[in-house]
Amino acid sequence: MIIDGKLVKILGDGQMSDLIATDLKYRKGLVVDGAMATELEKRGVDTSSDLWSATALIDHPDEIIAVHKSYFENGADVATTNTYQANVSKFMELGWSESESEALIVKAVELARTACDEYYGSLSDDERKKRAPDPLIAGSVGPYGAYLADGSEYRGDYNLTKAEFQEFHYSRMQLLDQAGVDLFAFETQPNFDEANALVDLLMDKFPKQQAWLTFSVKDEETLCDGTSLAEAVKYFNGADQISAIGVNCTTLENINEIIRNIHQVTDKPIIVYPNNGDIYDPETKTWQANPQADTFKDLVPEWLDAGAKLIGGCCRTTPSDIKEISNFIN
């Protein structure tokens, strides 16, 4: 409900909230937002450092709010915080103190929440009824490979112990949780062992939180580290705190078959948010336009029919792409 212009979620004491399930009781699907870096670059923000789009947390917070708000205006039900590449270790490597680095993670949640409150607070009662009951703020938890900033999230060729993975992720997750995210987004996960460490950390340290889990894949059947996608999904199907499972940051053309493969081994809501069809070179960190790529308008009906419940966009997607998704889901 809206109280004093702010969206407030009412939950019972100690209740673990599965707000995805709540929203899906009333809608055939939810719309996830799109790319942050692409839109920041259009607004003149330099995202070429190891921090990528998280650079804007330091000197362009208003632009982050504007990007989040543009996705809500075009039909998004979920905003993903600008923390995929952001973590305390990287900020400190680049010269910020520990307390300053922690404050930047919290700030990312506050900016997303501000955009949500401003947009939903501006809607009339009739307009509000047409949207999801609970617009969500998902705290982005990118993989260890994103911290390496060398394209490892598309290879999964790094090996840490379970304890090392958890030590790396814990501080960011703790800050996101304390700042009030509705759930975590364990996204672009290329490495089965890392995903396992994250889910165990979620259950051990954040028993009242939920997360979605999306993998980085090299094809329709395989995670980037060589693990079977179906086996990975089946493994996490029993994790009650995983609210949705799927893939992100892959090509549009892969999605339909991926949904079908996942649908066979899980009863959880399936989430997909692919790239826009452009081709990425992880060595040069550049994109090449692909004029032959399909569009969301062409493919979203097929994805819904195949069983997807949450659909959005990843790299290079725009508010207009999210509008195309919203037009079908709404």
Strand ranges for 22-87 from DSSP E: 30-31, 78-80
Return the sign of the alpha-carbon dihedral for residues 95, 100, 106, 110: negative
Checking phi first, is residue 149 left (phi over 0); if not, alpha (psi -120 to 50) or beta?
left
CA dihedral 192, 23, 182, 152 (to 10 degrees): 30
* Structure token pair of residue 202: 């979620």
Question: Which residues is 217 bridged to in the sheet?
Answer: 223
Q: With residue 229 as reference, give the H or E element that holds it.
A: helix 229-236
Candidates 108, 109, 107, 120; CA nearest to 8 is 120
Q: Which of 14, 74, 53, 270 is nearest to 140 (CA)?
A: 53
The annotation status of 314 as a binding-site residue, yes or no, is yes
CA atoms of 118 and 62, how far apart (whole Å): 13
Residue 219 bridge partners (DSSP): 222
Task: Give residues with Cβ within 8 angstroms of 1, minimum separation 6.
Answer: 7, 8, 10
* Binding site feature residues: 249, 314-315
* Binding site feature residues for Zn(2+): 249, 314-315
